[in-house]
A and B are shown apart, each in its own frame.
Chain A
Amino acid sequence: MTSQYNFKKIVIVPTAKDFIDIVLSKTQRKTPTVVHKQYKISRIRQFYMRKVKFSQQTFHDKLSTILTDFPKLDDIHPFYADLMNVLYDKDHYKLALGQINIALHLIDNVSKDYVRLLKYGDSLYRCKQLKKAALGRMATIMKRQAQSLQYLEQVRQHLSRLPSIDPNTRTLLICGFPNVGKSSFINKITRADVEVQPYAFTTKSLFVGHTDHRYLRWQVVDTPGILDHPLEDRNTIEMQAIAALAHLRAAILYVMDISEQCGHTIEQQVALFESIKPLFANKPLLVVLNKTDVIRLEELNPEQKALIQGFINDDIPVMEMSTFSEEGVMNVKTEACERLLSHRIEVKIKSKKVEGILNRLHVALPKPRDGCTRPAFVPEKVIEKRLEKGPKIKKKTERDLEVELEDDYSLDLKKNYDLPADFKYDVIPEFWEGKNIADYIDPDIMAKLEELEREEELRVESGVYEKEEEEMDDEEKEIHRLAGKIREKKAIIAIEGRIGRSGGAPVMPRAGRKRERSVSRLRSEFEELGVDMSNKSGAHFSRTKSRSASRPPIKKARADSAGRVSSSSRVTPRDQSGIRNVELKAKAKKMGHKAQGKMNQFGKAGEADRHIAVKMPRHLYSGKRGIGKTDRR
């Protein structure tokens, strides 16, 4: 039971032909499609049984959603039940839904029978024929429901367009003869755009609009006009109005046309009022006389006035209004709302729920503890000071000026400018002689600029901006110097590296190069850097061993003062250069071999070769694990 009655969520009801198409194509798409006659018979049977069952399920689902979505006339508010009866005929509606229900059960039975038969199908042909017969039967059942489905689709479309009237909230209901001005009234007080035309029965169904009063939302329901004849003769349109009058607990506004432009005299309107009076029981009632711009109540002749007086005598309030000139419309609305509100409060007070609300409405005032009063405390000095200041001069604000001048007031921000009167209202340009005016807004700006510059000079002179130099001791100085040297050398090396070996010049083979790594070179370079190389007799780099006896004495080598051998075609081979003795050489060789072994085993091209031929070798990633160690996963 939603408070907002909304029938827009009903599923679309397809026509019989479309229904069958949808279900059969769904069966074809969602079930397996291939079967051969050489399959096992159980497999063939299962294939066809699945199709029959699937179709049955789909039909069942779709039909049951239709049955559940359509509202049951016994479950909804009696207002809507009555309205639907008036519009769609309760019997027809129930019959249509009943037929759909029967179709549902028939389809279920067909499916059951044929699945039972399929169990005894012994060839593909037979199973296929049985499945065809089953689906055909279901389709025939649906074809017979074409009428019901069509009717239900029309009902659904009309239902979705019904206005959502909440039967339990505050409602104003407008009724009366056709053409008296009900729709004009609702157009005036709400945003509902009901059509207003001079012919009778312009409004053919209920319309709802919403308005506000006292911070609450009020529903206003406009009804089609009612004519004065007995209930049996009423047509569908009038019956909707009667249904609304009968079931909605609302304030009734009975609208009358005292100018008789609607085509009915005041006597007839009063007669209609009397005939539908039973429907107004227990509802706050208001008689509204419309079209007073044409003729006023006082201008009526005495008989008609007497009829109106009859209302007043019966304690029914009578109000005048004119929807054309809009006089009295708001008063009518306010009066109706107030009456309904007080009526609803009365009803609530009489009901049981009132205690819960009354508790919440109670305002508690604290009981005074003793008799002495406790006013606010203001020190005396403060009071004296206030008096000294004198009375507050109330400045005249712009608002006051606005209230005073009313229509002639315009906001003038330039009137308080500090300029002589003839310059105040001038328009200020943006540029003047190539300069921005905004830069020169200040008249003393040049003087200020000069002062600033002077200040700045003073600051520079006094040394505010000079950085404090730290005192370094000798060590730090030395470090700084060396660091500078190192940086320089590094830069040179980098540049040399970038330049390369004078691009493309042939390189001498290693054997032909001059001896690079000699003791004399070592000595000279280290001396350059400042290391003391004088007494390094026991150092490793000096020749500790003399020439071995096995070696024949070579020609006296011409060495210069630095100890550099000038002609030496025999350069030490690579596996001996840099190694002190034979054991070390053997060790170095062994280490070299060992490092290469692993690479060779895996077929690597070198140290940096990280290529993996088979990322997931099957023997590692497949198979079950036996009872073995499982500490690696």
Chain B
Amino acid sequence: MPQNEHIELFQKRYGFRMDYQERQRKKKAREHKLQSKMAQKLIGIKGKIFAKKRYSEKVQLKRTIKAHEEKKTRKKEDGKVPEGAMPAYLLDRENTSQAKLLSSMVKQKRKEKAGKWDVPLPKVRAQSEAEVFRVLKTGKSRRKGWKRLVTKVCFVGEGFTRKPPKYERFVRPMALRFKKAHVTHPELKATFCLPIVGVKKNPSSPMYTSLGVITKGTIIEVNVSELGLVTQGGKVVWGKYAQVTNNPENDGCINAILLV
């Protein structure tokens, strides 16, 4: 029975067909024809997938060709340093001095008081009530329409219990309650899955803030103890603000950028 490397053994003992090499060569030479035929014949979703794959292959091809061409041409290296300037390799990275730190701290405190923040998404589309709430008809004959169902993603705290159903006006379904957000650190370019502490401000309406509705542009507070950040004074930072950058109800997850 054929065991272990029987194929290689056979090839070693008996070699290949007389025309094996030629056939391989010819098959390879014909490949471009097959590709072009497929590119012409495939339609529908298969055609789109093929076209995308082909495009990326072509891009790679072009890049390698360009790289090869670059090798051939020789460019003169321009490494001149202007007179009197410090060379690049001697420059320090962080050049903040003590004074700068203090003044920035003071400025931050002032901003907090004023409520003005420098956020990544300054302007967000306002969400109307019709978008965020949906009327829930209740009553024996389904005539009463004072209840509202929240259609956007929301955050409720840990010790949250619903009001008695007879009296609750805003229904926040369990499926739309999220506890974690994917927060990106803008400088490190790394994303972490951090638990949400609370909703700080929803730009559309203060009512949404109190309900905990999270839409695009909402400022949320996240628990960053996982990152291990430490203040200048030596205290551990455990909460930071982040701004939501996507539409969570469409994507099923909350993506946010950390506000540093």
A residues neighboring B (CB under 8 Å): 21, 25, 28, 113-114, 116-117, 119-122, 125-126, 129-130, 133-134, 161-164, 192-193, 195, 204-205, 207-208
Contacts and interface: CB of A to CB of B under 8 A. Distances in A.
Contact of B4 (A21, A130, A162): A162
Contact of A120 (B6, B45, B175, B251): B175
Given A25-B45, A117-B175, 9 more contacts: A119-B175, A129-B251, A130-B250, A133-B250, A163-B1, A163-B4, A192-B3, A208-B1, A208-B3
Nearest to B152: A120
Contacts of B1: 163-164, 208
13 contacts: A21-B49, A25-B45, A28-B45, A121-B249, A122-B134, A122-B151, A129-B247, A129-B250, A130-B250, A163-B1, A192-B3, A195-B9, A205-B4
Contact of A117 (B2, B5, B6, B176): B176
A205 B3 CA distance: 10
Nearest to B131: A122
**Max count, chain B CB within 10 A of own CB: residue among A28, A120, A204:** A120
Contacts of A161: 2-6
B250 A126 contact: yes
A134 B1 CA distance: 48
B252 interface: yes
A126 B152 CA distance: 11
Given A122-B134, A125-B250, A195-B9, A207 B175 contact: no
A122 B134 CA distance: 9
Contacts of B3: 161-163, 192, 207-208
Interface in B1-20: 1-6, 9
Contacts of A204: 4
B95 to A, nearest CB: 40
Nearest to A192: B3
Contacts of B134: 122
B249 A207 contact: no
A-B pairs, top 5 by smallest CB distance, nearest first, are A129-B250, A163-B3, A116-B175, A133-B251, A133-B252
A381 to B, nearest CB: 66
B239 interface: no
A121 B2 CA distance: 58
Contacts of B252: 113-114, 117, 130, 133-134
A120 B253 contact: no
A28 B45 CA distance: 9
A120 B250 contact: no
A517 to B, nearest CB: 84
Contacts of A205: 4
A478 B5 CA distance: 100
A163 B253 CA distance: 51
A163 B134 CA distance: 68
B176 A120 contact: yes
B206 interface: no
Interface in B141-165: 151
B173 interface: yes
A256 B1 CA distance: 28
A205 to B, nearest CB: 5
Contacts of A195: 9
Contacts of A121: 249
Contacts of A134: 252
Given A28-B45, A122-B151, A130 B251 contact: yes
Contacts of B175: 116-117, 119-120
Contacts of A164: 1
A205 B253 CA distance: 52
B7 to A, nearest CB: 9
A21 B4 CA distance: 32
Contact of B151 (A120, A129, A193): A120
A120 B175 CA distance: 8
A204 B173 CA distance: 64
Contacts of A162: 3-4
Interface in B210-260: 247, 249-253
A134 B6 CA distance: 45
A628 B49 CA distance: 62
A563 B2 CA distance: 112
A130 B153 CA distance: 13
Contacts of B173: 120
A129 B247 CA distance: 10
Contacts of B4: 161-163, 204-205, 207
Nearest to B247: A129
Contacts of B9: 193, 195
A205 B8 CA distance: 14
Contacts of A163: 1, 3-4
A25 B45 CA distance: 9
Contacts of B45: 25, 28
A444 B6 CA distance: 72
B5 to A, nearest CB: 7
Nearest to B13: A195
Nearest to B12: A195
Interface in B193-209: none
Contacts of A207: 3-4
A161 B2 CA distance: 8
B87 to A, nearest CB: 43
A432 B251 CA distance: 104
Nearest to A165: B3
B114 to A, nearest CB: 37
A28 B247 CA distance: 26
A37 to B, nearest CB: 15
Contacts of A193: 9
A161 B3 CA distance: 6
Contacts of A130: 250-252
Contacts of A126: 249-250
B1 to A, nearest CB: 7
